[in-house]
Structure 1
């Protein structure tokens, strides 16, 4: 055995002989309760501030037709050819699958999770979903895992585009766990994903890296004509 190995084993023996030791540290100052923060007068504006601060992109539009236009533009600008879709009501209302087919894109539905389709999941360049809720306070997307909306939809593709309505915005994270919100049959699901911006990690050399464990780019297309941000978005787009 090398001298390094002998030294290491000796250190282990000494540590075992000393037994368990409880480390002492100065007590931390009390932080107090965080409490309910809310979203202010305009939940859409608060969501934009928090979501963009986390690295996300928000597009506010007036109607489903405009939402479809934004989605198609995002895909075309990034030369996306393969798309993974959920089978929820929000995307059905946009008739998005037909528009994507007309544009020449290859479409796979997330609900078709058979073994032979898994390659399609991993090959997808973009995942398009609805949301169950948005949390304005934290700038987070809330997605419940279900057959038509599995976690792979928002986790595997490098680009995630979510379409939402303004009435899906919750002011505060506390609101997400109000008992009345889960009064439907089945209650709180087994898996709930909170997505706050693109995937990030900083555990290697303390360097922040985006897109390693999930999408590197996350967009929310929000149908919210009543928000002041709708007018701002139209002006920015030159409409």
Structure 2
């Protein structure tokens, strides 16, 4: 009776392959769980004290149901006076406001109410299995005394299942099972519009021009000097050309007289 023996190296490789396959499968499952949740993503910069455009990204986590309703709740400790949704085909949107215990002052005006939540409801469209939908929002004015905004979300499926994304993530801790969307705020911008610095306006350029004229040096004087130099050179060249032409004529006349003689 013969006995089949497996080489130790082959046994090691087989075990490594199985272990690797299990690790990859686990990683894929964990990554799906970690990233398949409602999130908020700024389009550009979301600076403190400014305005920003964000996308609320809603993936569908179920294989046998579709998302038909999404609700985003805004923090009461950092109220936003302006929340404007961009229309999304196949969805109707409702903005709900609430009275403020302490009025806000924006651009010299007192604001007595702020947006409490925004709700999108399916109106001819759904977020099906394996799909996601983005809901754009314009937000402002962002708080100056916060590093982030926690926007709690509620997702409803057409089988009446409700998922509450309301657990606030803690810095340095593991991600909760149902984390709330978080909008991170960057340092305040000088223009308070949450974007990059804008080019100089016409007034700024005029001020620079006035300053240059007062100093007696600037783009205007340099351009005038260049233009004057160019004009003088053209005139000199013109005079030289005329003189050369007259000399040629005189030479031709003298040559003709010599031939006649």
Q: Relative to total residues, which structure has the larger strand share, 1 or 2?
A: 2
- What TM-score do the two structures reach when normalised by structure 1? 0.24
Which is higher, the Rg of structure 1 or of structure 2? Answer: 2
- What TM-score do the two structures reach when normalised by structure 2? 0.23
Higher relative contact order (CA 8 A, sep 6+): 1
